[in-house]
Each structure stands twice: as C-alpha cells, then as structure tokens.
Structure 1
Amino acid sequence: MLSWILCQQIFALLQDCAVSEQPVLATRNPKKRVDPYGFERPEDFDYASYEAFFSRYLAVLTRRAIKWSKLLKGTNGIQKSLKVKRYIRKGIPNEHRALVWMIVSGAQANMEQNPGYYHRLLEGEKNDKLVEAIKTDMNRTFPDNVKFRKTADPCLQHTLYNVLVAYGHHNKAVGYCQGMNFIAGYLILITKKEEESFWLLDALIGRILPDYYSPAMMGLKTDQEVLGELVKMKVPAVADLMERHGVMWTLVVSRWFICLFIDILPIETVLRIWDCLFYEGSKIIFRVALTLIKQHQAFILEATNFPDICDKFKELTKGTFVTECHSFMQKIFTEPGSLSMATINKLRETCHEKLLSQG
C-alpha cells in the first residue's frame, strides 16, 4: 500500500504555493491520515520517506507550475508541438491537468460540439442490466478513499454512477466493464466535474484504447500479446524465462493494461503516465511496462518457477523506483529505446490475427 499512497499529496499541496518559492513543508502536518485526493494512509505509512521525497520533488513542481502558467497565460488553446510534448512529459501541474487533458485528448472539442448531450443521456431511458452492474461496483470503488464513501458530503459515488451510466448508454458496444469504475473515479478526482470526466472517459475508451473494454476485449488481449513480442525484442532473457515456465503475459500484466496502472503504481506516478497517455496515445503503456521489466530484469530472472515469476511481477511495481515519479517518467523515454507507433501497429496486426486463429 505504501507505493500506492506515497506520492498522493504532492500536486494538491502545490496548489497552495502555485508559483511561490515559500517553503510549505514546515507549515503542514506531515502525519495527516488522509491525503488531498481522499485516500487513507495505512498504519505503516513511511512518513520519513515521504518527506524526503516531497522535499526533493517540490522544487520540480514549482518550476513546472511557473512554466505552465506562462504557457497557458491568456489562452485556453494548446497547439501540439515539440515544446508542449516536452512540457507534458515533464508533468502537468494539478491546477492545469484537467484543462490540458481535455484539450489534448480532443475531449474539450467533443464536449463543445455536443452541448447538452451528457445530460440528455442521464435523462433518457435506462438499461436495467447496465444500471444494476454499475450499482454493484459502487462500494467496491476505492474503499480506502473517504470521498467515495456513502457518508461523504458530497459523496462521489453519485457522480461516478452518473458518469458510468451515461457512458454505458453513449457507447452501447462497450456498456460497462469492471475496471472502468476506477478509471472514471480517477478522472472525477482530477477534474471534479461530471461532464468533463465523461468526455475524458470517452477519449480513453473510444479512441486511445479501442476495444479494451468491449465484451471480447480483443484490443486488450492483442496489446498484452504485443507486449510479449516487444519483450522478446528488447528483454529476450525475460521472454525466454516466461516461455520456459509457461507463464502467459495476461497473468502478470492484465491489470496494468485494463486499469491503466491504477492500484498498481503510486497515484502521482499514474497521473504523470496519464499526462502522456492523453497526448501521445497508447504506446505510453508499452513504454511503462517495458521500463518496469527492463529495470528489474535481474530480479525477474532470479525466479525459478511459475509462482515465483508471478510474485516477482507484483514486487517490481513497488519501491522507490516507481515512487520517484519524475525520474521514473524520464526513464520510460530512454530505457525501452526506440518504440514507434508503426512498430506497435504492425505487431498489433500480427497478434490480432494470431488470436483470431486461436478462436
């Protein structure tokens, strides 16, 4: 749980010192039980490590906030460019994150082109099976987050329910699939707005990750196979180990893909990944996965049997390497080496055909 929680306070704290150089650490209670995103810290939370990380990362956050404020000053528009790409890779301050995600993903344009559409979905006739499936997952969504509890005021369960019901009726081919509740929940925590969360969910499921959440989940299955092929190319010793012990990639990485690293990596690291995902597309997932595997190659190769391999993959998503989100994000663009969409798409075609032939 430590690696899940450790970064969660950072950007919310920055909002209080947006472009100020004033120190804030001394004025805060470092042992606050609930972080600004609403997640409860466990009893064994390592406050010393958190403070050490925060003190280093605050300088980075402050620099980024100043640069982003200048970039966005006087405009809500962002044109794709090498400069914007570089800025996004270095992290979007939380105060600007919702706006930037909306613009670069195309969600803002879709929302503006369809005024009132979201509310009409909520007011229209409902599919009872869809509604029941969503209701079943409400209490399972972030049980360690106080904002999603029924006792919260306001309770984000109601907002989450609305977003998922609207999306299920908007995209009938997908409807609702477990995993979507966590993604929508994250979007709500960042945007704090229902309609924006709906359109960002549509950008992810409808365009960035096509076929991940359809009933057959063919896109998800294909991309897991693609990762296996990329590991063969870039970390062949690990691929050989997996093959020798008959470990299918879906057993160790399916949650990475379907939950987009939610509940796998610390929240601030996940949000930094999503910054790039909304701008650069699905190849970011492969960069993250390959970096985790390549960085821990020696550790993985210590495994001597099937269960051992599965345990190793659980461990490699913990610890300081993933907690230090800024250095981690720098690594994902260097560690895997060259990784073009042309290569990924070619592998997708091959893997998709292979899956279809297997029936």
Structure 2
Amino acid sequence: MSMATENGAGNTRLQLDTATTAESRIGRIDPYGFERPEDFDYEFYEEFMSQYMTVLTRRAVRWSKLLKGNRRFERSLKVKRFVRKGIPNEHRSMVWMYLSGAQAHMEQNPGYYRRLLEGEKNAQLVETIHTDLHRTFPDNVLFRKTSNPCLQKNLFNVLVAYGHHNISVGYCQGMNFIVGYLLLITKDEEKSFWLLDALIGSILPDYYSPAMIGLKTDQEVLGQLVKIKIPAVAELMEKHGVMWTLVVSRWFICLFIDVLPVETVLRIWDCMFCEGSKIVFRVALTLIKHYQDEILKARNFPDICDKFKKITKGPLVTDCHIFIKSLFTEPGTLSRATINKLREQCRAQVLAQG
C-alpha cells in the first residue's frame, strides 16, 4: 500500500488501495458464480463477512446437532426459529425439500421427472424456453455456454419438464431465474423440479399462470398493507399515480433475484419455504418502512421509481443476518388471516378489472 504524501489526495489513494486489496482477497466472482457489480462495496462486504462467518459456523454446529445425521425432520417452533437464523449451505437443499413438501412429492412419484423428459414435447414450449436460456444470469459464469459443466442444459430440462407437468402454467418469464437459483443450491435437476412445483403449486399460487392473477393480487395486497403500516408512502404513490406493479413486480415475480444480494435472497427463501408467501410481504414492507424518509423525498413519478431501485442496495440488504432479523420486527404484526382477507378483496378487484 502506498504512503500518502498529501492529505486530500493521499486519503483518496489510501481508500482506493484498501478497496483494491479487499477486492483481490474476496474476488470478482462470488461463491455462486455471479460476477460482482462495478459498484460493489468490497470493504463493507469484507467487514460483514468477517463477522458473519462466525455466525455461519455457530449455526452449522447447531443444525448438525438438530439433524443428528437424520435426513428427515418434522416442522416445529424450534425448526422455524433455526430457519429464521439461517440454514447452512450444506443443509439448505435438504431442508428446503422437507419444509416445502417437495421431498414427499418426489418420493411419492419415483421416476416421474425422468418420464416427463423422455415423453413427447410441445414444440412451441421448447422454443420459448430455448429463447430465454441465454438471458438467464448472463453475469453468472456457471450459466455460460463456455463453462464446463454449463447449467443451461439442466435449466432447460427442468423448465421443459415442468411445462409438461403443469400445462396450465407452461412457461412464464421469471421461472428461469427461480430454477437457476434452485439449481445453484440443490445441484440436482429432479430436486429443483419438485421445489419449483412446491413454489408454483402451493407457496405462490397463480403467480405464474397466464393471467398472473395471484401476482397482480399480491401486489395490490402490498399496496393495502402499506396504506395500513406506512400511510405517508401510500399517499405519495397515490398523489403521483404510481401503480405498485411498476416498482415491485420484479420483487414478486423473481422473489428478489437480481434485486437483493444472493446470500440475502437465499436467507429470504429459507424463511419462505418454511413460512410461506407472507415472507415476501415482510421483505417488501421492511424495505419500504426502513427507507420511508428517503422515498418521501421523491417529488415526481421518475423520482419514486428511482428511490425504489436505490432502497434495494447498500449495507442494510448486504448484511443478510441483520436484514432477516429486521423482517420480523420492522413491519410489525402480519397475520395470515389479515393477508388472506386482503387477498380475497384484492383478487375480486383484479378480476373485475379484467
């Protein structure tokens, strides 16, 4: 590291050298194969990881004791508490499979996934999926054609199989990113298939149907929850005529992929597989409430859209451990009964609008 010779310029040089050193230690590619963005804060991330690794090590020991070599476990308040504190990567695939019910469905249907791949294919479905393959995670080295192995083939297989399994859904943009993340964690096509089925068939019903009624409904539900919990932001949105779908559609349809950091998304998914879709609302409300003062500075339509992009970056979401803790405190109470009641009202409005 160079010594500073002048206060102003020297300090700048010192900061640049420190950042470069942190970048060289951490690397431009993250553990999941994603290239880190140009504006990535290496210094903050290194500081965060130095503390978070201690947390991960402690959690791994506790999870190992909980599982005790047993590859099966039952839902309980203790498991829920453990999930909220984070599932170690070595157990994540297995825990997701059991919590979501995907493991039971896979065991009840031996050979079904392989039969879907070997069966007759819908040419239009296959072509649509093929078109989207190269658009899936261009910033991830594992999804490039030049990589060996290349996850594009596995991605294609899971999406084609699911399209023939659930004909009413077929394929919808956004599903490719979901399956991509599932493959990165499970490293297994069949498990990814059954986890996708749990998400689309149970956890997020109607999110990916052709009319996307469930997705549209939940975006309206979020609007109603913001009215209740963060009324000033709701008033700002109404004043400038900003529809919620314009600022949060990607949050919902991609379950925060490419919106929040990878490790944070995985921690959100841990909770979602355990507690269901209400976690998506908790994430959205936490972001909006935490940054409401910043959002309220917006003076027009473009300003609001820009604010919603900015609130998904920075230290709050990078420190996934602190962020997940805040999900269960910052938004306050959020009962399943409240969500179901709002869903019923908002679904009727969405259907009436055609």
Q: 1:183 aligns with which of 172, 178, 185?
A: 178
Offset from partner CA, 1:193-246 (integer Å, 9 cap, x none): 010000000000111000000000000000000000000000000000000110
| 8 Å contact kept, 2:175–2:254 | yes
Matched, 1:46 2:8: no
> How far off its partner does 1:358 sit?
1.7
> How far off its partner does 1:117 sit?
0.1
RMSD, aligned α-carbons: 1.3
> How far off its partner does 1:46 sit?
2.9
Q: 1:262 aligns with which of 253, 257, 260?
A: 257
Structural mapping, 1:24-39, within 5 Å = 30-39=25-34
Matched, 1:310 2:305: yes
> How far off its partner does 1:74 sit?
2.7
* Cα distance in 1, alignment partners of residues 308 and 220 from structure 2: 17
| 8 Å contact kept, 1:160–1:188 | yes
1:85 alignment partner AA? K
Residue 301 of structure 1: aligned partner: 296
Matched, 1:131 2:101: no
Residue 75 of structure 1: aligned partner: 70
> How far off its partner does 1:32 sit?
2.2
> How far off its partner does 1:29 sit?
6.1
Residue 335 of structure 1: aligned partner: 330
Residue 21 of structure 1: aligned partner: none
Residue 244 of structure 2: aligned partner: 249
Residue 320 of structure 2: aligned partner: 325
Scaled by the length of structure 1, what TM-score is found? Answer: 0.91
- Which consecutive residues of structure 2, in runs of 5 or more, have no partner in the other structure? 1-22
* Cα distance in 2, alignment partners of residues 144 and 257 from structure 1: 21
2:31 alignment partner AA? P
Q: 2:86 aligns with which of 85, 91, 103?
A: 91
Q: 1:141 aligns with which of 111, 114, 136?
A: 136
> How far off its partner does 1:80 sit?
1.1
* Residue correspondences, number: 333
Offset from partner CA, 1:19-38 (integer Å, 9 cap, x none): xxxxxxxxx96242322211
| 8 Å contact kept, 2:59–2:88 | yes
2:209 alignment partner AA? S
Q: 2:205 aligns with which of 207, 210, 221?
A: 210
Matched, 1:356 2:327: no
Scaled by the length of structure 2, what TM-score is found? Answer: 0.92
* Cα distance in 1, alignment partners of residues 337 and 40 from structure 2: 43
* Cα distance in 2, alignment partners of residues 43 and 239 from structure 1: 33
The secondary structure found in structure 1 opposite 2:205 is: coil
| 8 Å contact kept, 2:45–2:318 | no
Larger Rg: 2
- Which consecutive residues of structure 1, in runs of 5 or more, have no partner in the other structure? 1-27
| 8 Å contact kept, 2:144–2:150 | yes
* Cα distance in 1, alignment partners of residues 51 and 159 from structure 2: 38
Higher relative contact order (CA 8 A, sep 6+): 1
Matched, 1:226 2:212: no
Residue 276 of structure 1: aligned partner: 271
Matched, 1:159 2:154: yes
* Cα distance in 2, alignment partners of residues 294 and 264 from structure 1: 17
Q: 1:236 aligns with which of 231, 238, 241?
A: 231
| 8 Å contact kept, 1:30–1:47 | no
The secondary structure found in structure 2 opposite 1:228 is: helix
